[in-house]
Amino acid sequence: MVLSDYVRNRSREPLDAIRELDRLTEQHRRDRAAAEQRARRDRDEADRLRAVLEERNASRKQFETMANEVRQQISLLETRLKEREAELGKASDLVKETENLIAQQRRSAEIEYSTAQGLIQELAKCEQERARQQRRLAEARRSALNECLGDQWARMVELTRSQEHRLHLIAARNALDAARHDDPEVSALYEARTEWKRILASPVPSLVMNSARAELERVESELDKRFPGCLALDPKAVSVDEIEELFFSISEPGLETVSLVHLPFGGDTWDSVSRGDGDPRAHLAVRMAWALITTLGLSSDNAEFVREGARCVVRVNRNLARVTDTVTLPLPQGGTVSFIMNPLPNEVREAFNDEDTAP
């Protein structure tokens, strides 16, 4: 897996959570705006009905005055009095209806305002949760780099071990080849092995095949006792040359450009180097540090190897973005690891910037 795969795997869950929170946030904002709009509409309607109420109260008073005049002229205006009384009843009903509408609109406005306040709280919760998920995402991306570097270092250590084992097998085989010419007993065993292998490769009866296989195992066991591992070497095996990425990031504190090279080995290994331990990992780390120094032209004036948390980085006082050289690390027992200088992916670099600026 390459770094992008680690990043994508680590980022998937927090990214999904962020997208869901963004959707909820947008929905809450729309609901809040709609609630506030309905509240304003209800308030405006209440104000309008209040003016209608005043107008209708005035109308009712007018009808009452007219009714009194009709009563004074009851003998002459009986019919008109009844009409005015009917109109008065209608006006009273309208007044009551308007008062009920005003009360209803006020209750509705209170409910909508309460809903809007609740949505404000939900929006605050969503924003807090989104910030938490953003922190999770940044931590996941930082962990992805650490995991990638850890796996890279494990591959280098395992490669060194496999090369040591390969050299051991080569030495055992060379010892066997030398003994074949000097020791008649060894020569006889080796020739017997060749003959039994020839018999096993021929079309022979099962009984002969089983006997030949048993004799071959006996002969090879005797040779392996004298020269451990001499028969385990793959004749097609060759010295390995691996290609890895070496990541760096660039920051600009003030007017000075600083590049950070993220080394695959951890801070504990670099502490072993500082103490002068004879650990093979420390020796491998020293080899890599020297390969960096010689390839990039580093010195105590322009670079510093430092520990940052669990990792180790090189602070270089120049911009490595234009570096095209490949850092070649010769392994102790043969083979090389070639490092191609690559900048950190933007999302990982931003995750480390977030860590530096976190409150």
194 shares its domain with 295: no
d(CA 344, CA 313): 13
For each of the chain's 359 residues, which pLDDT tens digit applies? 778 888 888 888 888 888 888 888 889 888 888 888 988 898 888 888 888 888 888 888 887 887 777 667 766 667 776 777 788 888 888 888 888 889 888 888 888 888 878 788 888 888 898 889 888 888 898 889 889 988 988 888 888 777 666 667 777 777 777 777 887 887 777 787 777 777 777 787 777 677 777 877 787 787 777 778 777 666 555 456 788 898 888 876 555 677 888 999 888 888 888 887 777 888 888 888 898 898 888 888 888 888 887 888 888 888 887 777 788 888 766 678 888 888 888 888 888 776 654 43
Parallel/antiparallel/unpaired status of strands 303-308 and 311-316: antiparallel
188 shares its domain with 312: no
Q: How far is CA 258 from CA 32, 66, 254, 297, in A?
A: 47, 95, 10, 15
d(CA 307, CA 100): 75
Task: Show Cβ contacts of residue 269 under 8 Å, excluding neighbours closer than 6 positions.
Answer: 153, 279, 281, 282, 285, 312
Q: How far is CA 267 from CA 310, 349, 355, in A?
A: 5, 20, 19
pLDDT score, position 355: 61
Q: Which of 119, 111, 116 is nearest to 24 (CA)?
A: 119
d(CA 46, CA 112): 14
Tokens of 314: 């090189």
- Domain presence at residue 192: yes
pLDDT score, position 358: 40
d(CA 210, CA 197): 12
- Burial (CB count within 10 angstroms: exposed 0-12, middle 13-18, buried 19+), residue 73: exposed
Alpha helices in 205-260 (DSSP H): 206-226
Q: Taking the CB of residue 56, how many other CB atoms lie within 10 A of it? A: 17
18 shares its domain with 137: yes
Q: Last residue of some domain: 226, 257, 279? A: 226
d(CA 286, CA 160): 14
Residues of the domain holding 191: 183-226
Tokens of 25: 């946030």
Give helix then strand counts, H and E, for the chain. Answer: 7, 6
Tokens of 121: 């709280």
The percent helix, strand, coil of the chain (3-state, each to 5) is 70, 15, 20
92 shares its domain with 189: no
* Contact (Cβ atoms closer than 8 angstroms) between residue 270 and residue 285: yes
85 shares its domain with 143: yes
292 shares its domain with 341: yes
The per-residue pLDDT for range 246-255, each reduced to its tens digit, is 888 887 655 5
209 shares its domain with 294: no
Angular region, 253: left φ>0, alpha ψ -120 to 50, beta rest:
beta
Tokens of 213: 């296989």
68 shares its domain with 198: no
The per-residue pLDDT for range 123-165, each reduced to its tens digit, is 888 889 888 988 888 889 888 988 998 898 888 888 877 766 6
The answer to whether the Cα torsion of 64, 70, 71, 77 is positive or negative is: negative
